Structures are given as structure tokens and as C-alpha cells.
Chain A
Amino acid sequence: MSATSPASVESLDPPVAAGRRFVSELVRNPKGLTGFVLIFGVVFIAIFAPMLAGHDPTRQVLEARFLPPVFAEDGTWGHILGGDNLGRDILARVLYGSRTSILVALLVVFNAMVVGSILGAIAGYFGGLLDAVIMRIADFQLSFPFILVAILMLAIVGPGFWTMVFALSVALWVRFARLVRGETLKIRELEYIQAAKSIGVGHVAIIFSHVIPNVLPTIIVIATFDVAEVVIAEAAISFLGLGTQPPTPSWGMMISEGRNYLFENYWMALGPGIAIMTTSIAINLFGDFLRDTYDPRQERL
């Protein structure tokens, strides 16, 4: 990386150049930066939850039942956000709840992205019957709202944490598949692909070295918004009681528990509510920034 080289930026390693561009764009975009910092905070909390919480999130203490938060009358600094109906520390549960949200979001988006991209690449690359079958299933699924598909899957496999992960993954693969398929179709007939084929480059190698890099920016943007969508969907499904099961802390479930005590103990829903709101707004702000920077063609609807 000599500074004397005339095209010094181009001659940098691609990842380093991309990283520099990312940082310089991010610091110039206040919304994106806010989102990024907040996401960083949530991930930090999720990793260091045991050190930050100060209480076991599942331990039930009789004296802490319906204990008000520190800013209300009779609140104590020992339980900053108060105690819930079973005398568990709400702050500890909110902090640990970030683990559930992030775990589900990462698992689901990863599954959907990998499976969707592979199926999309297969459909676009090989065409024919395979393409028809995969894309008809995709169309069929797309004609229903995402949450209905997820609830149908949950109805079949039954409520639970892992079935929720499965149901959400199944509900989300379609967008990735369509995107990758479209790009594969476009690229399949190009001369350099034909050339690559003629010198014996395999199908898989072509897909990985020519198709995926072309769609990567769009995939990342979609994946980012999907993370926000999954965080909300996890909360919604756990709110309904069909997802994360007690005693594992989940923000959605905490709100649903708080729902029964809104009139007397509003703070039970307060902590998890603020947590979901902050996380979701953060990812959305960051996603907007990514889209505007890397994928300006995409319109969000």
C-alpha cells in the first residue's frame, strides 16, 4: 500500500477500501451513526448481560413482587426498573431479553438468507422445472402476509422457541430467493460467464464468484431490514405466547405479562417496551443508511 502509487485507493485490499468507505460515509450520516451506536449498545448488553444485570433474571424474590421502579414512589436502586408479578428483577430480564432477540434475529436471518439465496441461485441458474417449482412456492407464500405464514407454521409444529425460529425462517426466505434468482438470470447469458464455463469453471464456483458478489449489497440491505422485522416478529409471537417460553426472558413475553397488570403496575411493560422500540428504530435507521449508501435503487415499501 505505498502512498506513491497513483491509484492508491483502488490498490487497497477490497475489504480495507470497503471498510474505509463505510466509516467515512457513516460519520457523515447522523441518522445512520445513531442507529449504529444504538445497535452496538444492544449487542454489547447482550454479550455482557450477566455482568450488567446484577440479578438472576429467573430468580423469584417474594419481597420484590410488584416492586416499583426507582423513579416511582417506594422504588429502590436495588431494582432499578422494579420487580414483576413473580418478584423477578425487570432490569435483569430486559438485559437478558436482548440475548433472545438477537439470537432469534441472527438465526432466522442467517437461515433465510442462506437457504433463500441457494434456492434462488438454483432456480435462476438451472431454470426449467426446478425453477418453476421453487418460484411457484415463493409466489404462493408471497400472496400471504408474513405473519400469517409464520402462524401457520407454528400451528403445524406447535409453539416453542425453536419452532418459532423455524417458522420465521420459512416465512422469510422468499425475498432472498427472488433477488438472487433475478440476478442469476441476468448474468447467466453474459459472455464472461460463457467464457468461464468454456474453460471448465464449475456451476458452484460461477455462482459464488460472479452471482453472489453482484447481489451482495442488496442482500445485506434486505437482511438488515429483516433483522428489524424478526426482532418485532419474535416479540409479537412471544407476546401471543407462541414463541419463547417461560422462564426464558423475552421482551414480547414480558410485555404480555405486563399487559395483565397495566392498571396497577404499568412499569412491567415499560422496560421491555422501550427496549423493543429502541432496538427496532436503531436497526431501521442503520438500514436506511445502508440502503441510501450501497443500494440506492431499492425502494422500501
Chain B
Amino acid sequence: MFGYLVRRVLSALLVIVCVVFVVSAISKLVPGDIVDMMEAGNPGMTEQDKAILREQLGVNKPVFETFTSYLGGIFRGDLGNSTRLRSSAAVLIAERVPATLELALTALFLALIVALPLGILCALKQGTAIDYFGTIVSTFGVAVPNFLIGIILILVFSVELQWLPSTGYKGSVVVAAWEALKAWDGSVLWDRMRYILMPAVSLAFFAIALNTRLIRSTMLEVIRQDYLQFARAKGVPERTVYLKHALRNALIPTVTIVGLQLGTLLGGTFIIENVFAWPGIGRLAVQSIFWRDYPLIQASILVAACVFVLINLAVDLIYRLIDPRIRYVRH
């Protein structure tokens, strides 16, 4: 276990170093003069500003030196300054990470809580109307892009029914949940939840569809196993057979997939945040591309990639802990 842990952490570190290298080399990879490009998105730049930027981005330095100075900056907590917003990129991003994580985690939660009963129900009622409904939902969910789901939700719940706000963010739901618990007042929580519901559902839709398919097919497979017949034969009630014996084994592949999905969901936030004006890293990254604000682009991509690598690492290690049968083979 320990050897595996060390290897896994080292390989994650290596990936992060590669990310830092690629990100620091952006100033070299951009076709043309990067600072002239930035002037187009940031009017009113003086020659002096340009000189400072050239120095900061390491335009005139060799690639390796750019890399080491960028890496040095990271250790000092300095990711450069946003040219557009004129403040520290690290601070700008730190403010936005929680919103992105909260959105992705809520979507992950939804992906499980909806897909689990739907998948089980479809498997148990195979061939009935419920099963067809589940199949249609999963076919649509896999095929329809998340931003389109978002637009449809806005049309239904904001434009037609006027139940939910179409964009915006009023602060963390988790914090609100704590406050609501303390004050014993649900309205505080609902006021925040209204904003996260549609972004989270549109982000989760794809995962819900995939998980429903997966849970349905693994359940169907497990149900046919001999040991379930045996359990029935010795008089275990149907309910227990399904919920205890079958479900438990059907859950293993699901849990594996769900962990991997967190990454896909984080990728999806890059689009969904822009649909719902959700103030996370994804929105910041896309805005900074428009502004040609390269220090901010570098920083947001770096942070997004690192969050990603760390989450994958955590998921891997957690699996290893909860299911010792999963053995990792060295390549």
C-alpha cells in the first residue's frame, strides 16, 4: 500500500510539473508577439507597461528560464497579475475555486441520487413503460450537450414558470445550509439553492444518463447470478434479495465510474458557468481568453489542471482504501 501511495503521488507531481511547464511556455507558443496581442484586448497600455509584461511573461528569456521563474513564483504564491482586472491572478482565482467545486460536487451528488433509483427501477421492471422511460432519458442525456440542457431549463423554469432565476450566484449553499441549521430557518437555504439548481442539473444530466444505463445493465447482470436464486431458495424475501444481495454488487462498477466522472463534470463547468454566469474558474478562464489576459489565462488553466490532478489522485487512493480487491498493476 505504501509503495503504491508513493508511486501514485510522485506520478501526480510529475503531471503537475508538466502542466506548469506547458503553462509557462504559453508565452512562447503564442504565434506572434504576445504583448502586442494583449494590447488589443487591453487598450491604453504604455510602452513601460509592455516592458514590464515582457519581463513578467519571460518573453525574451529561454524556455527553461521562463519555466523556473514561473515555478519560483508559484512557491511564493505569485501567479502574475491580471492585466485586465489589475490585481493578483492568484487571489482572483482563489475567490472562484469554491464556486466551481461546489457546482461540480452538487452535480456529482445529483448524478448518483437520481441515477441510482432510476437504474434499479429500470432493471427490476425490465421491458415495462418505466424501463422505456429510463432508456429514453439516458439516450437524450448522453446525446444532448449540457449547455443546451441549460437553455431548455431556463426556458421552462425561468421564462415559462418563473420559479428559478436564470443566472447569478448568491454565495455558497453549504455555508447557507449551516446558517439555516443554526437559525432553524429553511428560507435562507432555499434562497441560495434556487441559483445552483439549474446549473447543477444541466451539468449532471450527462452523468445521470450514463449512470442510469450502467446501473441498469449491471443490475440486470447481477440479478441473473446463481447466488440470488440460492438466496431466494432459502427463503430470503424478494426485497432483501434485490436491495441487499444484488444492489451491493451492482454498486462496485458504479462507484468506480462516479469517481472518474468528477473530472468530466469539472470540465463541464467551463461551459455551464458561462451559461448561467456562475462566478467560477471556468467563466474566468473563458473571459480571460477574450481579454487576451495571458497571466490570468495561465493561472486559471494551471489551477484548473491541478485541481483536476489532485481530485483524480484522491479518488484513486479512496478506492484503494474502500476496496482492497482493487489491485493496481505497475505499467
Of the listed stretches B25-33, B76-84, B121-129, B172-180, chain A binds B25-33
B309 touches A151 (CB 8 A): no
B18 at the interface (CB under 8 A from A): yes
**In-complex Cβ contact of B286 among A235, A242, A301 (8 A):** A242
- Interface check B285, CB cutoff 8 A: yes
A residues touching B (Cβ–Cβ < 8 Å)? 140, 143-148, 151-152, 154-159, 228, 232, 235-236, 239-242, 252, 255, 258-259, 262-263, 266, 269, 273, 276-277, 280-281, 283-285, 301
Cβ of B144 and Cβ of A155 under 8 Å apart?
A: no
**A277 and B144 in contact, given A157-B30, A266-B159 (Cβ under 8 angstroms):** yes
Contact: B312 with A143, CB < 8 Å? Answer: yes
Which residues of A lie under 8 Å from residue B279 when comparing CB positions?
A: none
Residue of chain A at shortest CB distance from B292: A158
Which stretch (B109-117, B227-235, B268-276, B322-330) binds chain A?
Answer: B268-276
- Residue-by-residue, is B13-51 near A (CB-CB < 8 Å gives 1, otherwise 0)? 001001000100010011100000100000000000000
> Which chain A positions have C-beta within 8 A of B274?
239-240
- Nearest chain A residue, comparing its CB with the CB of B301: A152
Task: Indicate whether A151 sits within 8 Å of B285 (C-beta atoms), given known contacts A273-B152, A281-B139.
Answer: yes
Q: How far is the CA of A69 from the CA of B257 in the complex (A)?
A: 43
Complex-state Cα separation, A280 to B145, whole angstroms: 9
B94 close to chain A: CB less than 8 A: no
- By Cβ-Cβ distance, the 3 closest A-B pairs, closest first, are A145-B267, A281-B143, A232-B145
B64 interface hit (Cβ, 8 Å): no
Chain A positions within 8 Å of B270 at CB level: 147-148, 151, 240
Contacts of B263 in A (CB 8 A): 144-145
B304 at the interface (CB under 8 A from A): yes
Decide if B289 touches A159 in the complex (CB within 8 Å): yes
0 or 1 for each of B125-162: is its CB under 8 Å from A? (1 = yes)? 00000000000000110111111100110110011000
Q: Is B198 an interface residue (CB 8 A)?
A: no
Contacts of A154 in B (CB 8 A): 289
Nearest chain-A residue to B285 (Cβ)? A151
Give the interface SS of chain A, mostly helix, strand, loop or mixed. helix
Identity of the chain B residue whose Cβ is nearest the Cβ of A301 in the assembled complex: B257
Chain A nearest Cβ from B286, distance in angstroms: 5
Total chain B interface residues with beta-carbon distance under 8 A = 48
A140→B292 CA distance, assembly (Å): 26
Name A239's closest neighbour in chain B (CB-CB): B147
Q: For the complex, is B166 an interface residue (Cβ under 8 Å from A)?
A: yes
Q: Hey, which chain A residues are within 8 Å of B309, CB to CB?
A: 143
Assess the A273–B305 pair: CB atoms within 8 A. no
**With A and B bound together, what is the CA distance between A259 and B31 in angstroms?**
32
CA distance A269 to B158 in the complex (A): 15
Across the interface, name the chain A residue whose C-beta is closest to B261. A301
Q: Shortest Cβ distance from A287 into chain B, in angstroms? A: 10
B143/A148 in contact, CB under 8 A:
no
Name the one of A228, A242, A259, A266 contacting B275, with C-beta atoms under 8 angstroms: A259
14 contacts between A and B (CB under 8 A): A143-B15, A145-B263, A148-B301, A156-B29, A157-B30, A158-B30, A236-B145, A255-B151, A262-B158, A273-B152, A276-B145, A277-B144, A280-B144, A284-B139
Q: In the complex, how many angstroms separate the beta carbon of B170 from the nearest chain A beta carbon?
A: 20
- Closest CB in chain B relative to A171 CB, distance in Å: 11
Complexed CA–CA distance, A252 and B151 (Å): 12
Bound CA–CA A27/B259 (angstroms):
39
Q: Provide the bound-state CA to CA distance between A154 and B166, in Å.
A: 28
What residues on B are CB-neighbors of A280 within 8 Å? 143-145
The CA of A285 and the CA of B257, in the complex, are separated in Å by 22
Give Cα distance in the complex from A155 to B147, angstroms. Answer: 20
A41 to B222, CA, bound (A): 41
Structural contact, B145 and A240, CB atoms closer than 8 A: no
B57 within 8 A of A: no
B264 at the interface (CB under 8 A from A): yes
Q: Is the CB of A148 within 8 A of B304?
A: yes
